[in-house]
Structure 1
């Protein structure tokens, strides 16, 4: 069994238990999210596309307000405490939404749908961010290259299972009950996280040197201030680079998102029809993601390096927007979005998360929270407003492609720089000196491991 796991997934015997818990953790988180996502999309569209753009602004503001609260929790409590607080808050919020829908159905309307849209967007970002922050804290750089892609498979399976489970339970239990089921999966995710942080990190002969002196993922309080993560992003060239990478990612994803909304809106139909179409697109995307993860992702970072792996999504975006501008059909959009999301989730996301394995524990949670929530949503807002401005030029997809293509080139160059800088930081941490070409400590700020 151990030999089979090592050959297929590059996981050693001592790593099986923590990796299995990580897969289960991500499976439960994505199941909870994807059960509700199609409804989020349909509810958000009730006020029109301009309303969705303003919902993006609202989401960005909420994430900015939540970040110092999360930073305070990180500073004052052990990891399992603030991780538990995060998931318990969202789980209890789902129960509150359920009670509102069941006992006060008259107040459920456009405004309530928009509130749910913003809440779900924040929920989506923070639940995924906390998961990956724990992963980068729990595993070394060498380990992350070997099985972050495998752990991501758990999320993909959850993203497939969630919509399927929703379709099975919606009729007998009613749609509101799905909120309680989603809340239950968050509790299961928290149970997996609790077990994971209590397992001693698994050392192997390949990474013993790298992990020497590495603390347990729940070793003590991280400390610092509530705003330290935000300051670290602007003080560290490496973290700033990650933030810019995320902004471009968000802009590209938003271009694609609004293109999809426009094409679906043009088809007509009510909320149910749109929810069904969104669910079908999500299912196609998740299947494509799973195929890539099973066939190629497991060994991609080890063979190509993080820098090349990070650059694959910008190349996909470049080719996709050119093809979409030329074809201009819903079928072309579905193909492009499926490829973009599959590469994003199966290849880019695990590679991007390895970037945080070489920073301090404080930056893994605080700076990462700021980047993965507010910075990402700020990119959403920028992309939404820019897409709206391009739409007013009445040039269609050609206008979007004229911006997306050069931006994708910048994105690819940044990806190469980030991957190489990460490797240099890792080498400097092991050797105790900074190799030639590595930015100075003043430039890196808090980006290097401590």
Structure 2
């Protein structure tokens, strides 16, 4: 990569291959997801908006049940093996759905669509969580600030490519074939994950020992150990992890308010399934293009120069202003603009910044606690948001009622973002001081002693 491009994209020459592989990994994951997402949205609406609210409850329950099984995999298998097992499970699930759709097409109906909706929601959470957990394990905090935005570009390209590929192949191959194509992309993602992980340093060279931007050293054969429920318990022992969990809950509530507002406005356009799917796909396309521009040109420089705390606070500010504007205007066009900006800031700026929060935690927390927060805790926020939005609707408060709840909550959210960013800096300082010890063995050392008494686990 020419020097001027390295400076523009904030990437060092030695990092180019790793960033490319990480971006390609995320491209495959998001392509696999976005091939199927528009159909998920349309299938979920078949039972009505009220049914979707209860599907959120079902998703939260399933994620809680799945978490200990994932925690068991993390405890018993080396990193690359439990990552492969997770992607393999969802790939096999897609094959099962494919068999149902082709062998017994008569069973496909509202109930089957709702089952797919819940399964897809769990699938979406776990495959993206595992990707970002590996990124937090693969790159240092300083690297994350510079590189996570650029890595996320790969995901956005996949999110654009997936719907386009679905539109090209759905007619000639049939909708069931999309599930097999999605499975193939998951398999490719696993292959890239192995290559990327083995590019990580396995031994610290003397010239990198004091470099805060050097990637962490990991023994690829080491087993993290601990109990299956350790991630759950660690969240409640650590103020820092509790703060991340609270941030995720508020994010989920805000996203759910926006999500159900979109569902209601699209539902008012008519009952035609294909037309609704088209509208959802167009909204997704607009959002992804806006996200791509922000990720490629803004995200890496913004986080590196302003800090994680300011970057995390941008989405709460966007949410507050957007809900105020939506309450005033109240049109589908205003919703599309707001959602495009909200999702673009979330995916291009907030998500990479939020993932850097885990770069200063122990390896166990990177996978187990993160899994609990990014799946069950996040879906718990979805449930709260869905029920509150439904209650406001039944009270006849409409968009004004949603805004009256969303705006004050966004201010609390912004304050929490600033606290998390400051806390991360404190933990990073401790982590840097303990780096020689933390980089040895399987990397269990925890830097959280000042923010979470009693949570250090050797």
Normalised by the length of structure 2, the TM-score is 0.94
In the alignment, what sits opposite 2:173? Answer: 173
Work out whether residues 363 and 446 of structure 1, in 8 Å CA contact, stay in contact via their aligned partners in 2: no
In the alignment, what sits opposite 1:441? Answer: 449
The alpha-carbon distance between structure 1 residues 447 and 169, as it changes in their structure 2 partners (threshold 3 A), is: farther
Question: Residue 145 of structure 1: CA displacement?
Answer: 0.7
Moved more, 257-266 or 212-221: 212-221
Give unpaired runs (5+ residues) of structure 2: 436-446
In the alignment, what sits opposite 1:436? Answer: none
In the alignment, what sits opposite 2:234? Answer: 232
In the alignment, what sits opposite 1:95? Answer: 95
Give 1:242-391 correspondences, 5 Å limit: 242-391=244-393
Does residue 1:7 correspond to 2:7, yes or no? yes
Alignment counterpart, residue 209 of structure 1, candidates 211, 216, 222: 211
Does residue 1:187 correspond to 2:195, yes or no? no
In the alignment, what sits opposite 1:81? Answer: 81
Question: Residue 448 of structure 1: CA displacement?
Answer: 6.7
Q: Secondary structure at the match of 1:441?
A: coil
Does residue 1:140 correspond to 2:140, yes or no? yes
Give 1:154-173 correspondences, 5 Å limit: 154-173=154-173
Q: Could you list the runs of 4 or more consecutive aligned residues of structure 1 that deviate by over 6 angstroms after TM superposition? A: 202-207, 446-450
Question: Residue 321 of structure 1: CA displacement?
Answer: 0.2
Q: Secondary structure at the match of 1:444?
A: coil
Question: Residue 206 of structure 1: CA displacement?
Answer: 8.0
Question: Residue 209 of structure 1: CA displacement?
Answer: 3.3
Question: Residue 291 of structure 1: CA displacement?
Answer: 1.1
* CA distance in 1: counterparts of 2:144 and 2:349, whole angstroms: 13
Question: Residue 275 of structure 1: CA displacement?
Answer: 0.4
1:165-217 residue CA offsets vs partner (Å, 9 max, x unmatched): 00001111111111111111000111100111111339897884337894326
* CA distance in 1: counterparts of 2:136 and 2:309, whole angstroms: 17
Q: Secondary structure at the match of 1:146?
A: helix
In the alignment, what sits opposite 2:397? Answer: 395
Give unpaired runs (5+ residues) of structure 1: 434-438
Does residue 1:430 correspond to 2:438, yes or no? no
1:364-386 residue CA offsets vs partner (Å, 9 max, x unmatched): 00000000000000000000001
Work out whether residues 229 and 362 of structure 1, in 8 Å CA contact, stay in contact via their aligned partners in 2: yes
Q: Secondary structure at the match of 1:404?
A: helix
In the alignment, what sits opposite 1:125? Answer: 125
1:236-285 residue CA offsets vs partner (Å, 9 max, x unmatched): 00000000000000000000000000000111131111000000000000
* CA distance in 2: counterparts of 1:271 and 1:260, whole angstroms: 15
The alpha-carbon distance between structure 1 residues 3 and 201, as it changes in their structure 2 partners (threshold 3 A), is: farther
* CA distance in 2: counterparts of 1:232 and 1:184, whole angstroms: 35
Question: Residue 295 of structure 1: CA displacement?
Answer: 2.0
In the alignment, what sits opposite 2:109? Answer: 109
Question: Residue 70 of structure 1: CA displacement?
Answer: 0.2
Moved more, 1-10 or 400-409: 1-10
Question: Residue 330 of structure 1: CA displacement?
Answer: 0.2
Work out whether residues 427 and 448 of structure 2, in 8 Å CA contact, stay in contact via their aligned partners in 1: no
Q: Secondary structure at the match of 1:222?
A: coil
Q: Secondary structure at the match of 2:39?
A: helix
Work out whether residues 60 and 383 of structure 2, in 8 Å CA contact, stay in contact via their aligned partners in 1: yes
Q: Secondary structure at the match of 1:176?
A: helix
* CA distance in 1: counterparts of 2:410 and 2:300, whole angstroms: 25
Work out whether residues 138 and 201 of structure 1, in 8 Å CA contact, stay in contact via their aligned partners in 2: no
1:339-369 residue CA offsets vs partner (Å, 9 max, x unmatched): 0000000000000000000000000000000
Work out whether residues 101 and 108 of structure 1, in 8 Å CA contact, stay in contact via their aligned partners in 2: yes
* CA distance in 2: counterparts of 1:248 and 1:123, whole angstroms: 21
Work out whether residues 448 and 455 of structure 2, in 8 Å CA contact, stay in contact via their aligned partners in 1: no
* CA distance in 2: counterparts of 1:133 and 1:199, whole angstroms: 16
Moved more, 1-10 or 110-119: 1-10
1:383-413 residue CA offsets vs partner (Å, 9 max, x unmatched): 0001001111101100000000000000000
Q: Secondary structure at the match of 1:269?
A: coil
